Amino acid sequence: MQLHSAVFYTKNINLVEAFYKNKLGFEVEYRSDDRFISFNIGDTGRLGVKKQIEDREIPGHQTVFIEVEEIEDYYNKIRSSKEIKILKPLTKEKWATEFTILDPDGNKVLFRS
């Protein structure tokens, strides 16, 4: 079994597309106008981002975990961008090395190796 996809909610699809594509290097898999966008994450995962329509779809309340092989190199790339907010810097825990950033809506993206 493996995770197929996860979904975040946003107020602005264009802003989110620019962030994930240009800042994090994610590949756009699919886009449906101003309502939904899907990004490929590696060979097996996807991150979908849906424009908030219903009251229960609250931007900034989701978290996704993404495994990265060369986490220190990727962290240094992220850290060099002044436009990416790092919530938790690169830390070596007992179970993994990880860091967390916030997307434009405040959703958490945790990278670990």
pLDDT tens, position by position, 68-108: 989 999 999 999 988 899 999 999 988 899 999 999 999 99
Residue 103 burial by Cβ neighbours in a 10 Å radius (0-12, 13-18, 19+) = buried
Q: φ and ψ at 70, to 5 degrees?
A: -100, 70
Give, in degrees to the nearest 5, the angle at Cα 105 between 103 and 106: 65
> Strand order in 27-32's β-sheet?
5-10, 45-51, 36-41, 27-32
The two three-digit tokens of residue 9, written as one number: 């909610």
Let me know: does 12 contact 61? Beta carbons within 8 Å: no
* pLDDT surpasses 90 at 5: no
- pLDDT confidence of residue 1: 44
What is the radius of gyration, based on Cα positions, of the chain? 14
CA separation for the pair 93, 104 (Å, rounded): 27
- pLDDT confidence of residue 43: 79
Sorted by where each starts, the structural domains of the chain and their CATH numbers stand as 5-112 (3.10.180.10)
pLDDT tens, position by position, 13-67: 999 999 999 999 999 999 998 899 999 987 778 999 999 999 999 999 999 999 9
* pLDDT surpasses 70 at 110: yes
